[in-house]
Structure 1
Amino acid sequence: MSTLKLLVVDDEIDFAEFVADVAQGMNFEVIFTDNPSTFTSLYHANLNIIVLDLFMPNIDGIELLRYLSECNSNASIIFMSGKDGSVLNSAQEIALEQGMNVLGVLSKPFLVKQLEDLLTKYVQHAPTQTIGFSQPPSVSDIESAIENEEFFMMYQPQINMVNREVVGVEALIRWVHPSKGVISPAVFIPIAEQNNLMKEISLFVTNTAIQQQADWLKSGLNLRMSINMSPKNLDDLLLPEKLTSCAIAMGANINSIMIEVTETALMSDVVRYMDILIRLKMKGFNLSIDDFGTGYSSLKQLVRAPFNELKIDQTFIKNLDTDQECRTITEVSILLAHKLGMKVVAEGIETEVVWKILQQLGCDEGQGYWMGKPMLSDEILAWKEDWQSI
């Protein structure tokens, strides 16, 4: 892999040099400036990471973020500030709303290790973050991928946070394009949804994941299988019957299949979605509300559908040890879910520190790179044995 490139913009020259020194020590190619007005001349499309101070004179970090959005920048952003922590969170939200990747936020003063952890996370994930993004896939690319069976499934373990037992996996679709390389689902799924291609993709996901659960079951491994369901598929009134027939035909355990839906999926045709979700539950499937806290839901969303599980979005989890607001939101979400009779899964656990905080807060289950990355089906058993031997 070529040298990773990083740009630091901070009107405090000491901090800019500090970040630059840490990044250079990790073999990044670094440009830094204490003059935000030079940003547009320093910016180029090959940057991997931009470390951006929010509070700067003349041009602030939000204005620079707007510029990056207009340039369709693929760089990952690290926000930093020594002032209002709520502004850091808000900046992260506006960046995510614009489809940008936020690697993390840092409240000044921060430790070398905190910065190193964020940069290490990028380095570890860089192959999937940097390949194939220069040109988004076309509709014909996705149609060819469906026809040529270029999609495949990976599975990320979910762990009981009390006894460390491996209780399930989340099924995650992946795509390696013949010439563009690895393309993230965050890139191709929205395009597929906008062009009526999700039914074919979802059929592949559900069939593959349910068959895998059945295969593991036959070998004596009873893992819950969590399957993400696109809002585009939640308009099919026959979905409960189709999934039930599929599970029975493959020999899967319906009671060990979790259907994950996002908050925003519940916002349009409420009656139709409720019809489908209730009948899925009646047929024995479990229901999870995914990415909780990132959509536009109210408390009403949690009580009008028969959810078994609430998943707290990684946006809050990954900063749990450094951001009091994220910790408060997580704590309240756990308490609320438990009061409503749901278990809670935290996604995006990347450090032991965050794992231990979640244990203290009473979180039921977790998933994340600290425990196990998404992996191929034949890697699960060996990983499980290693995890349980720790």
Structure 2
Amino acid sequence: MRVLPTERLLPDGNEGSPLVEHRSEVPPMIRRTEVVAIALVILTVICVTGVLYFAKAFFLPVVMAFVVGTMLSPAANRLERFRIPRAIAALLIVAAVATAVAFIVGLISAPLLDWSNRLPELATRLKDKLNVFDRPIALWHEMQAATGGGSPESATNLQLPKFDWVQPTIEFLSPTFTEFLLFFATLVLFIASWRDLRRALIMNFGDHEARLRTLRILNEIELHLGNYLLTVTLINTGLGVATGLACALSGMPNPAGLGALAATLNFIPIIGSIAMFAILTVVGIITFPTLGGGLVAPLAFAGIAFVEGHFITPTIIGRRLALNALAVFIALAFWTWLWGPMGAFLASPLLIVGLIMKGHLLPDDSPQLPPD
């Protein structure tokens, strides 16, 4: 019997129904071009991140000026309605912002300078107050010695860190004069020329649909960033006032400065509240004779920050733009690593910009995964 090329007999040799061979090839899950495209995207992200990291002195003040300028553009638009030229409006807005920043820095710097001049004395007082932890620390070192991790004689009481970290910390937190100058100059010019920049960016596209989409993206970014700055500023001001009142009622020194510091640090999500709680704890332990008295203000601030972070801010901001907690945390970690405290401040605004662009460039009606 002659077998056709597309047929073959059953294994036992019986002449039954032939098995048809299907020679159609299944396409690979990821084609070579897709692999190359993904690799190019990864390399581009790495290169851009490296440039932003090593050229921080230039890109940080410029990006900060762009973001803050976009936030303040609605205020310039309102001043223009009163027939104030946009250039003068930009100068007035930047002067008002600089005055507010100088006022807050004045409230915070006075106690910081006083505490920095008394660091050795304050460290000694703090060590004396924390002697209640000597026994638990000694037990910990004994357990380490029993497991071969150290000797009990290595440390039997609380050891405070040395003060050689103060200068590097100040250098890390404080931008240079050149960065300040570049930031304010770029901010004034950006606000003054924002309308022309918008028009040039929109007209750069030849397609009408692309121009309309760009206009919508810019309008939504300006609206959301302006609302974000106004809302967060009001919320942080309320938190600072509440913290100052709690510090005053509990007998903490310089409650106005501590309240201003709480409002300023709260612009940095998560990290700001943790840092403020640690500062209040240290100041309270140093100031009050008992450990319980020193923890009154930190615990009060923890309650205020909990209500603000879990009820007030999500309720107000969540109505305008929903921010995923994991996305906020990852953005905060990345930008803090890249640009320090100023990067932490920019994390949420840049995340908002990214979400807006994603919503317009990758709309929800695009192909999605099938439901489970």
TM-score by length of 2: 0.22
Report which of the two has the higher share of helix: 2
TM-score by length of 1: 0.22
**Larger Rg over CA atoms:** 2
Report which of the two has the higher share of strand: 1
Quick one: higher RCO (CA 8 Å, sep 6+), 1 or 2? 2
